[in-house]
Structure 1
Amino acid sequence: MNSTNKNFLPEDIKEKINNHPCYCEDAHHHYARIHAAVAPACNIQCNYCNRKYDCSNESRPGVTSERMTPEEAIKKVLYVGGEVQRLSVLGIAGPGDALANPKNTFETFRLVREKTPDLKLCLSTNGLALPDYVDELVKYGVDHVTVTINSC
């Protein structure tokens, strides 16, 4: 989002955007993020979740060589956070839809909140299940939600 488009936003929202490596080019150079691949199922069949190939040129969030359990995800977050002091964001973006896997998604968020309460939480979803989980997102303090618009 360029600075012209940010002018209409409240200051607290601008600050969240400016400090999030997924949404701000400058923040991308100062903060680190990690994606936890705990959400393999999807509730639609669009091309976004087509993860047939694992290649070094593939950079969509959620593309992964491994799927994790929530327990494996928190171990990885703690390890990476110990090595990378600038780690500030944990995202769940697949490899399917985060909200089509609510048990894994929210157990991961619970464990992260318990062990690393200052880490920002975000997720990516197609939005179909979003109304069902708004209260859970608020409960765990998820402050960045990306709703994807996919087509075949």
Structure 2
Amino acid sequence: MSISINKCKNDLSYSKSLELHPCFSREAHFKHGRIHLPVSPTCNIQCKFCKRSLNKSEVRPGVSNVILSPKKAIETLDKALQLCPEITVVGVAGPGDTLATEYALETFALVHQKYPHLIKCLSTNGLLLSKYAHRIVEVGVKTITVTVNAVDADILKNICSHIVDDGEILYGRKASSKLISRQLDGIKKIVELGVIVKINTVLIPGINDEHIEEIVRTVEEAGASLINIIPLIPQGDMIHLKAPSSLELEFARETAEKYLPVFRHCRQCRADACGIPGSKIDLSSILYGESTHTFSHG
């Protein structure tokens, strides 16, 4: 399935973003680079499979060697561009949620001021996407990934333990209902502002594997342009579950393709990844070295 460009107000910008984004385009995946700046320390939801960590060894989302301040992130980007001039995308993908604190948006503003030509990409759970939609656009973000693991609260309550909304902790179906509503509202709003939206869905056998078609149909109606279905990494409260088999993963992707193009080359990168994804060489160890600098985030 080819990606329709009629969902974006600026077709040329849309097409160019896809050509240069290694996490949105198969072709770009093997020739263009990206850097994830780990400036977002905390999260406002708790997924049962999520385990955030600071370490150098694990290769998965939610993990970083350090937490950077926005100012330090720009210095890191300067160095990264020297190491990998093929970088076309600057992203923030954690290790917490990008909108749970101000640091990601502050970082994007600084990046956009210094490097306006680079694509800015934000990953979020979507809880606060609608609230910050206009500001996201103001700081130059052109592409967004929203993680949507269910659009049925009775299913999502088995994936998401709780959410924190305006200081209130919500659990169960109440939490899941609010998160789904916020995600769909946020997707619709940010698409109307001309931002390209990709959906990440974690495939969890026995929980949301028979729900994939409804997820994809719903997010397509909300305005998403692309979906990335990734396998569960058993950990946290889901450490006892099995990751989906390659056949289960392929079936889910084929189901999704009825509604949206499917990105099939995701490497489930760390929150401090750097380099060309398709090269299988990550430059983060060179970029950060033995540094353990962090900043206080309360």
Q: Which category describes the TM-score, using the shorter chain as reference length?
A: 0.7 to 0.9
**Alignment TM-score, normalising by the size of structure 1:** 0.85
CA distances 1:65-96 after superposition (whole Å, capped 9, x unpaired): 11111111110101111221111111111101
Q: Report the number of matched residues.
A: 146
Secondary structure of 2:45 counterpart: coil
Name the residue aligned to 1:86.
86
Please report how far the alpha carbon of residue 149 of structure 1 lies from its aligned counterpart in structure 2 after TM superposition. Answer: 1.8
Name the residue aligned to 2:146.
147
Please report how far the alpha carbon of residue 9 of structure 1 lies from its aligned counterpart in structure 2 after TM superposition. Answer: 3.2
* Identity across matched positions, percent: 39
**Alignment TM-score, normalising by the size of structure 2:** 0.46
Q: Which has the larger radius of gyration?
A: 2
Please report how far the alpha carbon of residue 56 of structure 1 lies from its aligned counterpart in structure 2 after TM superposition. Answer: 3.9
Query: Which has the larger displacement, 12-21 or 32-41?
Result: 12-21
Cα distance in 2 for residues equivalent to 1:107 and 1:81: 20
Name the residue aligned to 2:134.
135
Alignment pair present for 1:9 and 2:5: yes
Name the residue aligned to 2:186.
none
CA distances 1:119-149 after superposition (whole Å, capped 9, x unpaired): 1101111101011101111101211111102
Cα distance change of structure 1 residues 63 and 57 upon mapping to structure 2, 3 Å threshold: closer
Please report how far the alpha carbon of residue 16 of structure 1 lies from its aligned counterpart in structure 2 after TM superposition. Answer: 2.4
Cα distance change of structure 1 residues 109 and 9 upon mapping to structure 2, 3 Å threshold: same
Residues 42 and 97, structure 2, Cα contact 8 Å, conserved in 1: yes
Query: Which has the larger displacement, 86-95 or 15-24?
Result: 15-24
Cα distance in 1 for residues equivalent to 2:45 and 2:58: 25
Residues 53 and 64, structure 2, Cα contact 8 Å, conserved in 1: no
Name the residue aligned to 2:41.
40
1:67-82 counterparts in 2 under 5 A? 67-82=67-82
Residues 74 and 111, structure 1, Cα contact 8 Å, conserved in 2: yes
Cα distance in 2 for residues equivalent to 1:55 and 1:46: 22
Name the residue aligned to 2:59.
58
Question: Which structure features the higher share of strand residues?
Answer: 2
Cα distance change of structure 1 residues 86 and 128 upon mapping to structure 2, 3 Å threshold: same
Please report how far the alpha carbon of residue 112 of structure 1 lies from its aligned counterpart in structure 2 after TM superposition. Answer: 0.6
Secondary structure of 1:100 counterpart: coil
Name the residue aligned to 2:28.
27
Cα distance in 1 for residues equivalent to 2:60 and 2:66: 15
CA RMSD of aligned residues (A): 1.9
Residues 123 and 145, structure 1, Cα contact 8 Å, conserved in 2: yes
Cα distance in 1 for residues equivalent to 2:29 and 2:86: 10
Cα distance change of structure 1 residues 47 and 38 upon mapping to structure 2, 3 Å threshold: farther
Cα distance in 1 for residues equivalent to 2:146 and 2:103: 19
Residues 41 and 95, structure 1, Cα contact 8 Å, conserved in 2: yes
Please report how far the alpha carbon of residue 49 of structure 1 lies from its aligned counterpart in structure 2 after TM superposition. Answer: 4.2
Please report how far the alpha carbon of residue 59 of structure 1 lies from its aligned counterpart in structure 2 after TM superposition. Answer: 3.2
